[in-house]
Structure 1
Amino acid sequence: MNGTGHIVTSFDEDLQEVRNTIVQMGGLAESQLQDATRALVERNSELAQEVIDGDREIDQLEKNIDNMTIRLLALRNPVAHDLRLVISALKIASILERVADYSANMAKRVIALNQAPALGPVSTVPRMSELVRRMIHDTLSAYAEGDASLAREVWHRDQDVDQLYNSMFRELLTYMMEDPRSITGCTHLIFMAKNIERMGDHMTNIAEIIMYEVEGEAPSGPRPKGDKTSMTMLDSEELLSDDKAVE
């Protein structure tokens, strides 16, 4: 094998290691969402704490990916399509770390909710969570397989999550007006639902990166959205960051 061939082979192997680590990171993020949701349904504070603690492992994987991609850029000096693959990996790892943060925040709110009597309107959160969990799973498959068609399908699915969020938002507002004692608990649920909705948004971001990586261009036209809650009390809260940790 000549020197050029060796360099190409080494680059491919290093890049595959990065991609494998991203898939591992995404799998953990998917599990974190599942566990945070189960902790909510079962009122299981111990499981919620495991989700919070598990966020450190995902943070470490992101750091590992950062180090690997920096090494690739420094030693391999990739150009054109190869450079696009490396930059995509950096972006996707950052997004997955954020998704895991949302699950950890959900878990913190579960612990806070468990200090009070159980609330009735919880069922929509698991439904939203399952939609987004499937988006995460399919996005990871699209990334691992270089499947732009599957990525585009995920991209369109985000509006289903938005519509379910809109429905739950209205339901919880009605519940709070009927029973002011539920305001604190319902507010936690609203923020959990918003966290899940944001995860769906992040999956569309990754889907766009995959389409660009495979096809060389991002999808044209406006992103399909169904979130109609703009200018509500939740958006004013976002000035304080809706995904910040619950103290």
Structure 2
Amino acid sequence: MVRESFEASLNLLKEDVVKMMEGVEELVIKSVDSLVNRDVELAREVIELDDNIDEMQNNIEEKTIELIALQQPMAKDLRIIFSISKIITDIERVGDFCVNISKETIKIGNEPLIKPLIDIPKMRDIILAMLRNSKTSFMNEDSKLAYRVGKEDELIDNLYKDIYTEILMMIHSDSKNINQGTKLLFVGRYLERMADHITNICERIIYIVDGENVEIN
């Protein structure tokens, strides 16, 4: 009975992690939408919604401590619980970067964009796919999928390099572009860091499934 109770508690914990991932997916969508549409109200909504992600993290952390203290986890169980505590930290950091994007959007306000935003929405779409597939690999304990998702970080790195080069050229060609150009560079950097954290999540999933510490990139 103790074992069945533990399994049930662990499954509930995993469900909480999935809900946290889904909450962050929403923030990724809304934060980039707020920039593309220069929607300051939506940006403010993202900042408020991030509090929910922080609360989810705290609740999951408390549950992991309870599981270790009140149950008798075996070796693989401890590996899962330890990894979950790391995964939710990375999820929370993705949420923080969504807040950072929203703050840049608020600073830009309704001023015209210095360039059409093409690569930033592309980065957003890849990050969303990475988040969703990492969620699937977590639920299904699919380490091969987790590895494939982690490798997609390279696509994000390449897009960030393109943004960096393009905006730097715009700044050099016209000093009026410095203010907004710098903000867009920050946004690109925040998206690039999100992908890094999702890669960390994938490495943790591989550790859960295979018991191996793998560095994907």
| TM band (smaller chain) | over 0.9
Q: What residue number does 1:152 align with?
A: 147
Kept in 2, the 8 Å contact 1:102–1:199? The answer is yes
Q: Which runs of 5+ in 2 are unaligned?
A: none
Q: What residue number does 1:15 align with?
A: 10
TM-score, normalised relative to structure 2: 0.97
Q: Distance in 1 between matches of 2:95 and 2:8?
A: 27
Q: Distance in 2 between matches of 1:39 and 1:33?
A: 10
Q: What residue number does 1:93 align with?
A: 88
Determine whether 1:77 maps to 2:96.
no
Opposite residue 169 of structure 2, the aligned amino acid is T
Determine whether 1:119 maps to 2:114.
yes
Determine whether 1:40 maps to 2:14.
no
Q: What residue number does 2:138 align with?
A: 143
Kept in 2, the 8 Å contact 1:212–1:218? The answer is yes
Q: Which contiguous aligned blocks of 4+ residues in structure 1 show a shift greater than 6 angstroms?
A: none
Kept in 1, the 8 Å contact 2:27–2:98? The answer is yes
Kept in 2, the 8 Å contact 1:40–1:110? The answer is yes
TM-score, normalised relative to structure 1: 0.85
Q: Deviation at 1:121?
A: 4.4
Q: What residue number does 1:31 align with?
A: 26
Deviation sequence 1:121-155 (CA, Å, 0-9, x none):
42211111111111011111110111111101011
Partner-residue secondary structure (3-state), 1:142: helix
Deviation sequence 1:14-59 (CA, Å, 0-9, x none):
1111110110000010110111111111111111111010000000
Q: Distance in 2 between matches of 1:109 and 1:77?
A: 47
Q: Deviation at 1:79?
A: 2.8
Task: Tell me how large the CA RMSD over aligned residues is.
Answer: 1.1
Q: Distance in 2 between matches of 1:124 and 1:70?
A: 41
Q: Which structure features the higher share of helix residues?
A: 2
Q: What residue number does 1:106 align with?
A: 101
Q: What residue number does 2:182 align with?
A: 187
Identity %: 34
Q: Which runs of 5+ in 1 are unaligned?
A: 1-5, 225-247
Q: How many residues align?
A: 217
Q: Distance in 2 between matches of 1:156 and 1:118?
A: 32
Q: What residue number does 1:3 align with?
A: none
